[in-house]
Structure 1
Amino acid sequence: MTTPLPQPTAPRYEPLRGLALWGEEEKAAALEVLESRSLFRYYGPAPLHRVDAFEERFAALAGAPHAVAVSSGTAALTCALIGLGIPEGAEVIVPAATFLGCVNAVVAARGVPVFADIDESLTLDPTGWEHLVTDRTFAVMPVHLHQAAADLDPVLAVARRHGLRVLEDAAQACGVSYRGRPVGSIGDAGAFSFQSEKNITAGEGGAVVTHDPAVHDRVARYQDQGGQFTTSRAGDRGTAAGEPFLGANLRMTEIAGAVLAVQLERLPPMLRRLRDIARTVRADLADLGLRWRPLPDEEGSGGDLTLLLDDRMAARRLVTALTAAGVPAGTLYQGRLVHQNPAVRTGRTPWGTGWQAPGRLRASEAILGRSVTVGLGAAMTDDDVAHLAKSLRAAVTGASGE
């Protein structure tokens, strides 16, 4: 008779951020829009202009003069590439450890992704991608992965040397800073996500920020059918001075804008709390000599607890032990690089094969595969933090046989 394997316990806490703090204010904000019957951001019976207000406040938080709210983080990346003026068929350098949406956005903008190595920060190796630059390269897309900023200064230096645009993917790092500067506002444009697992959320949504008024104009027009919009009632909008072009419908709704404006107020204290949790756990386990993910700006992180183990098997054992103890833990993207996705590997786009299969990035595979990220939740109590530290200590010492 086969002995059943031990089953993981229910998670001690939810590893959620903005959604964990959802309250009556969000409900009231959404209800106000519903009662106005003006759910479309540009007009209605009694427009409240909640998306406009959110854009203004979000731009200030992100440290940029311009923001455009859109329907998702992937839409934000696509709009940003269009705003930056990507030519059809141009290459965009993307870190190998990232979400599929980065690749989808490049393809949607009719570009070609090129995959670059990461380092032990799990973000783009800041200078290791320079050999990938060709005469077809248009931009590089550093990804601020799981609440930690990529090392942007050397990335910017390489990009400027080659005349490339820098698009920051800040989907997983809203409110995080890099050496005193808000991520998303440091390159030529930044893209954010407000999906349900993100730092602030309306279930879905995104935003683009930029310092460049020309980029802002193109983004604003593209997400609204190209900007030359004519309604069935003969109304119109779109007074941009540039030449008209065709766009898409990637607009944010008024309900999302209203909810996100409430969530925005919760963001700074939430990130401070999560950073404090991460510091507390690290300090409690300092005697174990653990190897933590190196961050270019520890103060600027959004609260990250990621360990680097000796190998992939050791990482799996630690994940199993933590999960059994009710601690949410895992290896980001199950240890798979984005170009290991079958559609990405074979270049299958909606209009045919877009590129040849990229080569393996074995060093990046090894780094990602031996990482273990512990999920932190915005609603964690002090007892949850103590349980996390105790469980992590037991799992690490148990795996080492101490």
Structure 2
Amino acid sequence: MTAPEPRYEPARALALWGEEEIAAAVEVLRSRSLFRYYGPDLRHRVDAFEAEFSAVTGVPHTVGVSSGTAALTAAMVGLGIPEGAEVIVPAVTFIGSVNAVVQARGIPVFAEVDDSLTLDPERLDELVTERTWGIMPVHLANAAADMRPIAEVARRHGLRVVEDAAQAAGVHYGGRPVGGLGDAGAFSFQLEKNLTAGEGGAVTVGDPAVYDRVARFQDQGGQFTTGRGGDRGASAEAPFLGANLRMTELTGAVLSVQLRRLGPMLERLRNIARHVRRETADLPVRWRRLPDEAGSGGDLTLLLASRLEARQFVAALTAEGIPAHTMYQGQAVYANRAVREGRTPWGVAWDRPARCRASEGLIGRSVTVGLGATMTDGDVDALVAAFRKAYEGLAPAAG
């Protein structure tokens, strides 16, 4: 007899899903025009979402695509990454960051993170070689990477900066939205994200020439003759072959509805996180450092003294009904065998990477407490009580 599937508790955008999303999707279904470029009654929902998302991010151009990984790939292609070029990626990230570098025919180089669990700017210079093309800071778990010093390293070495904002739609750094702080930004709209249609992504760019390349790449290269006899796409640049990474009208319609809720939702989650921190200020908690706490999307991640304590803390919170986990099961991204061995669809592309031991130590001791967009004040009080109980339960072991 197989064990039942664990119950999935909607957290952020999905928790707010309602009749508006259903109505938006039904409108597209009734139009019979689910393809973004033409149909019997095209509603231009992807076009509308792209314009709305550009307004939210403050970046002139947005291209809706099929996933966050697709967005990262298209962003690097749009910026002209040469084949075999190196891209510096944090050791603590989702495997999609690495897959995107591979799909863009680049080589990932793994960098240490600091106690923000994002790229350590002080360790970047040592990784730059004549083959380095760019840096991919990851805005991890709704907290921005420390972009000012990262951008300074990039300027000093003439490198491109591609922001992986898959987990951070609506997050700010220094008063500016992420996705507009580097040369390009990439977002995900997968089920657990701040905006969700189950899947989807977006690229944000300021340079119109880069925008042209991204838009063409995700649409089969953008220069071809359709089955209806017309051409779609034209550019002054020489034509090139692309991929099919297009966003559907259903996705665009649902995301436009959710975009209106993004700001208020993140403000509520930030307030919850601040409240929990205040209510536990008497405990010697080492919180994850946030480069811009005011702009975060509501993060509650702490660093325990050891992996054992982290496991105990997760177990204690879970026993109280509070969702908690250690990020990526306490493993750096190169713990994945294919990443570790450099195995791509085209063969082995890099040697076994050096271990980022500081990053491994930090991620293994991390505990993230889940926050939900529909949490009531009573839910927050219960979270605080469970947190205190779990933390105080560590005292005998710590003593």
Task: Pick the TM interval, shorter chain.
Answer: over 0.9
> Which of 113, 134, 146 is matched with 2:108 structurally?
113
Aligned to 1:390: 385
Answer whether contact 1:92 1:141 (CA < 8 A) is retained.
yes
5 Å-filtered alignment, 1:207-246, equals 207-246=202-241
Residue 199 of structure 1 contacts residue 267 of structure 1 at CA under 8 Å; is this kept in 2? yes
Larger deviation: 12-21 or 380-389? 12-21
Q: Is the 8 A contact 1:189 1:211 kept in 2?
A: yes
Q: Deviation at 1:343? A: 0.4
SS at 1:203 equivalent = coil
**Cα separation, 2, equivalents of 1:334 and 1:104:** 19
Q: How many angstroms apart in 1 are the aligned matches of 2:122 and 2:218?
A: 33
Cα deviation, residue 359, structure 1 = 1.3
Cα 1:65–1:342 shift into 2, 3 Å: same
Corresponding position: 1:16 with 2:8: no
Aligned length: 393
Q: CA deviation at 1:13?
A: 9.4
Residue aligning to 1:7: none
* Structure 1 residues 131-146: aligned runs within 5 Å: 131-146=126-141
Aligned equivalent of 1:326: 321
Q: Secondary structure at the match of 2:294?
A: coil
- Equivalent pair of 1:11/1:328 in contact (CA under 8 Å): no
Taking structure 1 as the reference length, the TM-score comes to: 0.96
- The runs of at least 4 aligned residues of structure 1 exceeding 2 Å deviation read 10-15
With normalisation by structure 2, the TM-score equals: 0.97
Query: 1:14 deviation in Å?
Result: 3.0
| 1:15–1:328 CA contact under 8 A, matched in 2 | no
Letter in 2 for 1:352: G
Residue identity opposite 1:286 in structure 2: A
| 1:190 matched residue in structure 2 | 185
| Aligned match for 2:154, one of 156, 159, 164 | 159
| Counterpart Cα distance in 1 of 2:164 and 2:226 | 33
Letter in 1 for 2:24: A
Q: Corresponding residue for 2:117? A: 122
Unaligned stretches of 5+ in structure 1? 1-9
**1:123–1:143 contact (8 Å) kept in structure 2:** yes
Q: Deviations over 1:98-153 (max 9, x none)?
A: 00000000000000000000001000002211111011100000000000000000
Query: What secondary structure, in the 3-state scheme, does the structure 1 residue paired with 2:261 have?
Result: helix
- 2:213 counterpart SS class: helix
Give the match's secondary structure for 1:296: coil
1:33 and 2:28 equivalent?
yes
1:305-384 mapped onto 2 (5 Å cutoff): 305-384=300-379
How many Å separate the matches in 1 of 2:74 and 2:7? Answer: 39
1: distance between equivalents of 2:84 and 2:354?
Answer: 20
C-alpha contact 1:103 1:113 (8 A) present in aligned 2:
yes
Task: State the alpha-carbon separation in 1 of the partners of residues 212 and 50 from structure 2.
Answer: 14
How much does 1:16 deviate? 1.3
The amino acid across from 2:302 in the alignment is L
Matched, 1:53 2:48: yes
| Deviation at residue 232 of structure 1 after TM alignment | 1.3
Determine if contact 1:278/1:304 at 8 Å carries over to the other structure.
Answer: yes
Q: Is the 8 A contact 1:11 1:326 kept in 2?
A: no
Contact in 2 for aligned 1:70/1:205 (Cα 8 Å): yes
1:299 maps to 294
Q: Alpha-carbon deviation of 1:353?
A: 0.2
Residues 272 and 338 (structure 1), Cα distance of their counterparts in 2 relative to 1, 3 Å cut: same
- 8 A contact 1:76–1:207 mirrored in 2: yes
State the AA in 2 paired with 1:259: V
SS at match of 1:288: coil
Question: 2: CA distance between counterparts of 1:49 and 1:331?
Answer: 41
Q: 1:366 to 1:222 in 2, by over 3 A?
A: same
Q: Secondary structure at the match of 1:167?
A: strand
Matched, 1:181 2:176: yes
Q: Do structure 1's residue 256 and structure 2's residue 251 form an aligned pair? A: yes
CA distance in structure 2 between the partners assigned to 1:15 and 1:332 by the alignment: 18
Deviation at 1:289, TM superposition (A): 2.3
Amino acid at match of 1:304: D
Aligned-pair identity in percent equals: 70
SS of residue matched to 1:31: helix
Q: Supply the RMSD in Å over aligned alpha carbons.
A: 1.3
Question: For residue 345 of structure 1, what is the amino acid of its counterpart?
Answer: R
Residue type at the aligned position of 1:46: D
